[in-house]
Structures are given as C-alpha cells and as structure tokens.
Amino acid sequence: MIQMNHIVKRFGGQTVLSDVTFTVKDKEIFGLLGPSGAGKTTIINILTNQLDADGGSHHTGAAMLDTGLMLDTDGLYVRLNCLENLNIFADIYGIPRKKSFEALKKVGLEDAAKKAVNVLSKGMRQRLALARAILHEPKVLFLDEPTSGLDPATARGIHNLIQGLCDNGATVFLTTHNMEEAIKLCNHVALLHRGKIIEQGIPAEICERHNAVKTVPDLEAVFIKLTGVELE
C-alpha cells in the first residue's frame, strides 16, 4: 500500500505541495491527474526518495529494489543499444539476461534490440524506459506521464501493458494530464491542482458527483469545474 499523509514540500519560499494525503491500495492502478506544474512529478520524487518532504509522512510498502520507475527523463545510455541498456540493469538486479529480451518483447521493441538508443524515436525510447522499469517485475511501479507525446497506437499498447502488469499483481502509480487515459486505466484517481488534492476517488463516481457524465464520464469537466483551469 502506498500512502502519503499531509505531505508538504517547499522550493525556496514557494510551497509546491500542500497537505497532500492519499492512499493507493495494493494491486490497483492509481492516477494522479493535473496540469503541468501541479506537483505530480514532485510527488513521485518524494515517494521514490529522490526528494525529501518538508512535512508529513509517506511510504510505498515496497523496498526500493521492488520498485520500478519511469521518469520524465529516460536516463538511457544513448550510445548503447536497447538490449545492452536492459542487460546493465538485469546484471545489477541479478536476474537472467534473457529477461531483458522478454521485457523488450513486452513493449514491442524486440526488433529494435540491437539498435542504439540515439537512433530511436521518442516513443521507442519511452517504451524502452518502460521495459527497464518492469524488467525485474517490481511490486510497485511509478510511471511519470507514461504516454505523454506518444501516438494513439503506441499509447494503447502501453495502456494494455500497464493493465496486464496490474492484473499480474503489481501496484501502479501513474501521473498524467490525459483524463481519458485516467478514466480508461485507473481504479482510483486524485486530482491535483497547484499542489493540493482537490478531489479523489473512483473516476466514474467523481464524475457523477460533479454531474459530469454525459455519454461517458468526463473527468476533464470535473477539473475545469473545480479549478476554472483547462488542462493542456
């Protein structure tokens, strides 16, 4: 179980997270939604111990080694090929190297296994970063904007993969500003605006609460109603 209790974070004099509290149950997909600059990445950085909070407490219910991470920056070794990038981490985690190829297959990059990272498209790099995050079959997966900037077909593939990981017992925490993605994928969501959680719960129920169900639940309408701000 991932928990954040009354988390506060300041950068300089500016408060970027204020009293952030939420719980993510095991084996669910939890979406943190909000526009750019809302504080989504800061929350992931705090949960993965890359940043210290100035107040409150948090835990992820899993050791660091049982955690998979995909950040906005991929951190790949650009002169090495896809397989070599994953093999480094397979060796570090002490898992067989054949898992690297299996992870590449899961993200549909098996044909690009021998391609250097610096010749890959953005979408391919993102899929490779995801392959690295799932390589060691972590219990908890943090995905920062996993489909940002991807074409619909690639994004759909990643959605299916995330759903599959959850079905196999992983807890997935993802950030997005794509409300459709959140409704489609997430069991629970929290809406984040200027560092504060303004609403959280089951996506369809949130939409019903705010009369934002027309033909389908519309989380974006809820966000605009609550904040007056449009998502990019």
Partner 1 sequence: MRSIKALFTKQARDMFRNPAVLVMFIVFPAVAFIMTQLIAKSNDDIPNNMFVTMMAAIFAGMGLVTSSAAVIAEDIERKSLRFLIIAGVKPHQYLIGTGGFFLLAGAVTSVVFALIGDFTGTETLKFLTVMIAGSATSIILGAVIGMLSKNLQAATALSMPIAVIIGFTPMVASFSETVEKYAGILYTQQINVIVNDFSANFTHALMVIGMNIAVLLILFIVIYRKKGLKE
Question: Which residues contact partner 1 (rule: CB under 8 A)?
Answer: 48-52, 64-65, 67, 69, 71, 73-80, 84, 87-89, 91-94, 116, 132
Q: Which lies closer to partner 1 via its Cβ, residue 99 or residue 188?
A: 99
Decide if 70 contacts 143 (C-beta within 8 A): yes
Decide if 10 contacts 16 (C-beta within 8 A): yes
Place of tokens 């519309």: 218
Smallest distance from partner 1 to CB 91, Å: 3
Smallest distance from partner 1 to CB 124, Å: 16
Q: Which lies closer to partner 1 via its Cβ, residue 79 or residue 98?
A: 79
- Cα distance between residue 97 and residue 86, in whole Å: 8
Q: Which lies closer to partner 1 via its Cβ, residue 14 or residue 73?
A: 73
Q: Which lies closer to partner 1 via its Cβ, residue 74 or residue 180?
A: 74
- Cα distance between residue 108 and residue 150, in whole Å: 14
Closest by Cα among 46, 52, 101, 107 to 74: 107
Smallest distance from partner 1 to CB 111, Å: 21
Smallest distance from partner 1 to CB 12, Å: 13
Q: Which lies closer to partner 1 via its Cβ, residue 77 or residue 164?
A: 77
Helices H / strands E in the chain, number of each: 8, 9
Q: Which lies closer to partner 1 via its Cβ, residue 67 or residue 227?
A: 67
Smallest distance from partner 1 to CB 209, Å: 37
Smallest distance from partner 1 to CB 32, Å: 19
Task: Spell 31-50 as b/e; 16+ CB within 10 A means b.
Answer: bbbbbeebbbbbbbbbbbee
- Cα distance between residue 110 and residue 70, in whole Å: 19
Decide if 61 contacts 2 (C-beta within 8 A): yes
Q: Which lies closer to partner 1 via its Cβ, residue 109 or residue 140?
A: 140
Smallest distance from partner 1 to CB 232, Å: 23
- Cα distance between residue 93 and residue 53, in whole Å: 28
Decide if 55 contacts 8 (C-beta within 8 A): yes
